[in-house]
Chains A and B, each alone.
Chain A
Amino acid sequence: MTDYRVSKLFFDLHHDAGLAREYRADMGSVIDRYQIKPDIRKALLADDVASLAPLVNAYLLRFYFQVRGMPEAQFIAKLRAMDPASGHSTGKVAHG
């Protein structure tokens, strides 16, 4: 289910380099401006890809972890760990 507030945070970080710098310096104070739910706040602070993925558009999720400075290979590994069967529920098969 899409969470509007965390989506808006990701969108704003994607658009505003100043906000992204501020976020890198002090995530908590930026998160607080978005009235984000406590469990989502915790997931943000922990870079918990699996918890955040169902809440936002997949492209915004990618942009967000680029802002966070997570290497793409690590981001992909965390995504794949969400579904060790590589998406059997959707009929998808993962390849290199």
Chain B
Amino acid sequence: MILKNNLKEVRQKKGFTQEELGKSVDVSRQTIISIEGYRYKPTLELAMKISKKLNLKIEKLFYFEH
């Protein structure tokens, strides 16, 4: 099982840049880039902060792919 996410699509749909989203959840732009590229798995705290900021349920944003 691989942890994937819709972060890039949702972020773009909501009109946020990587820089803006990163700033609003206290992480760097590089961290957002890494999450979008599935290279970095965020902690639960960061995942919840991002989903709250994007006004989306966490399971809609992050999901397992078999």
A joins B in a complex: no
Using a CB–CB cutoff of 8 Å, the interface residues on chain A facing chain B are: none
